[in-house]
Amino acid sequence: MADDSGLSVDALGGAPGVHSAYYGGREGDREEGTGGTTASCLANLSDSRSAHYVCVMVLVKNAEDRNPLVAEGLWHGEIARAPRGANGFGYDPCSWSGSSARRPRSSIPFTKNRISHRGIALQKLVALLNESRRR
């Protein structure tokens, strides 16, 4: 099983996308977002703030598997005007504006894992796996 995730910001033409981890450069701590990722994202935005997190998960059952299971999860929202919150990592400080329950940094891990792009992708992957077992 493998997965990858990224932040897609409409006003940035889908960037940072697959390069989310190093959008602000390769210096600093990726886990805490101090590599400039959050600051670079905020600095490059204008009034348009719509964005979404994307996660794709792939499961290959064995080396001969010619039909891998592929699931995608999307978590739509908007980029906040300034970083906030005390938990999370990466872009969590600058996303999402709106309800605090829907913000990555303010969500408790159980809730975040259930409603996030990764949680959605995993739920879809489990459904695909269950479906493939019934065939």
Catalytic residue numbers read 4
Residue 31 burial class via C-beta count within 10 angstroms: exposed 0-12, middle 13-18, buried 19 and up: exposed
3-state helix, strand, coil in the chain (%, to 5): 35, 25, 40
The alpha carbon of 29 is separated from its chain's Cα centroid by a whole number of angstroms, namely 18
Residues with Cβ within 8 Å of residue 94, at least 6 apart in sequence: 38, 41, 42, 79, 80, 82, 83
Determine the Cα–Cα distance for residues 33 and 62; give it in Å rounded to an integer. Answer: 36
DSSP 8: E
